[in-house]
Amino acid sequence: MINLETPKKAGALINQAYQAAAEVFRPISRKYDRAEHTYPSELDMFAALLDGLNSSGEGGAGAAGVRRSPDAGSGNRNGANLNVALGTIEMCWGDVGLLLSMPRQGLGNAAISSVATDEQLSRFAGLWAAMAITEPDCGSDSAAITTTATVDGDSYLLNGEKIFVTSGQRADAVVVWATLDRSKGRAAIKSFVVEKGTPGFEVVRVEHKLGIRASDTAVLRFENCRVPKENLLGTPEIDTGKGFAGVMQTFDNTRPLVAAMAVGLARAALDETRRVLTESGIFVDYDRPALTQHAAAATFLQLEADYEAAYLLTLESAWMADNRKPNSLQASMAKAKAGRTVVEVTLKCVELAGAYGYTEESLLEKWSRDAKILDIFEGTQQIQQLIVARRVLGKSSAELK
């Protein structure tokens, strides 16, 4: 039976993550929102700490990926996936863009952790990896990838272009999705670890963005980029029976993390809005019906209910991964709910705070800009709803598009 109360053993981790968010992220949040594309050097001091927490096997306070527990057994277990989700929530209470800028905490690290062999895990340990999926003609439909990987001796030659790559300029390597054989459809799509400095790998430009400005988002180009065969994550065999399931397993780990980012940001907005309302003489009373309270308090209660739902779905999807339970449905439900909720919560909090929420005197306006990407990357709201519908109705991707 799942128990979604915060595990007591996670208390120290949550406290460390909260202290980092409150004492480091918050004070420099506006600074790097204004200084887009400037690397936050203050983050370097956390790299060794988070590396140690992640290598302990219990997960750290960052966003790095974690492997499904091999020894979950028949009993319930709270492990690394849940701990990383809890740490991510706390850190994003501080600043989402700064968390995404943390060395060795990239979504590419989650991809490596999800599908790499034990030898690859050892070889790529300590690597900061971004993840490159989206292409100019391929957005939400990851199966439509056109970047190719062609066998050439003991290497693959990668050719194609990737856009909207988080940490694409700063990371040490990029996990690139490419197809081995376009005629065999989505089953031929594999992921490759391409390290910076590899000939044929070019960072074309860094994007200017609405939010998460502390994080760099790059356009990458690969022209006859030679990648060793051993850098293909997982198996090179094309299993048309298994289809896209192997490489898509990455999302079962990363979508709960993005949901956790959204939950942390939503809580930050709610905490600030509660403070603003209280200072204005408006108090939220949990012992009275919402309709008998001030309109602002009633609205706040509704927002908080949506936040709680997103929070519980996020913890459930992470807990299932720790206990070796298929969590594709729950990961998409958490991502869909949290992504939509954080946008609605942050925008409504700006409204509830009035002119104060609309100015740079408060971080509320920044959070409303940061929130939108959390409803887009790692699969848009519409894609998550489509995945949920397929799982609930028992339909394949060919039957329900």
d(CA 221, CA 367): 31
The beta strands (E) that lie in 111-270 are given as: 129-132, 148-152, 155-166, 173-179, 189-195, 201-206, 217-228
d(CA 346, CA 11): 27
Q: Max CA-CA distance within the chain?
A: 73
d(CA 134, CA 33): 24
Alpha helices in 228-288 (DSSP H): 245-279
d(CA 175, CA 111): 7
Q: Is 137 helix (H, G, I), strand (E, B) or coil?
A: coil
Beta bridge partners of 217: 166
Name the helix (H) or strand (E) containing 83.
helix 80-94
d(CA 183, CA 321): 33
Q: 387 and 317 in contact (C-beta within 8 Å)?
A: no
Q: Which residues are within 8 A (CB) of 178 and not within 5 positions of it... i.e. 6 or more apart?
A: 145, 147, 148, 149, 156, 158, 160, 189, 190, 191, 192
Alpha helices in 280-353 (DSSP H): 295-322, 328-352
90 catalytic? Reply is: no
Residue 207 in tokens: 């994007």
* Selected catalytic residue, list 161, 316, 365, 378: 378
d(CA 186, CA 244): 5
Q: Please tell me what DSSP assigns to residue 69.
A: P
Residue 91 in tokens: 């850190």
Residue 66 in tokens: 């974690």
Q: Please tell me what DSSP assigns to residue 362.
A: S
Give me the active site residues, please: 378
